[in-house]
Amino acid sequence: MFTVYVLVNKKNIIYIGQTNNIERRLDEHNNNLRGKVRRYTKDKGPWTLKYKEEFKTRKEAIKKENTLKSHKGRDYLKSILGP
């Protein structure tokens, strides 16, 4: 299974990603594990998981990730996550 996830930090910065192990990935984001996170989430935590959706294939997960990263997708996330 592959999971599309949305993380939010205390400054309400949103991060959207996909993984095959959500628990491991959240730990990597929150602990700045060397070589596992990029500049976007590094040192901006703590991150809280606010949304996740599971898919059978990585291809489906990537498609949903890209949809959520679009303007329309971000508007959708704001409507379900609140201010």
Range of the domain at 35: 2-81
The one-letter amino acid code at 47 reads W
CATH number of the domain encompassing residue 35: 3.40.1440
So what's the pLDDT on residue 38?
63
* Total of domains in the chain: 1
pLDDT tens-digit map of 35-77: 566 667 767 778 999 999 999 999 999 999 999 999 999 899 8
pTM for this prediction: 0.85
Confidence check: pLDDT of 34 > 90:
no
Residue spans of beta strands (DSSP E) within the chain: 2-8, 14-19, 48-55
Q: Does 80 or 5 have the greater pLDDT score?
A: 5
Confidence check: pLDDT of 27 > 80:
yes
State how far the alpha carbon of 49 is from the alpha carbons of 13, 21, 56, in Å: 12, 13, 20
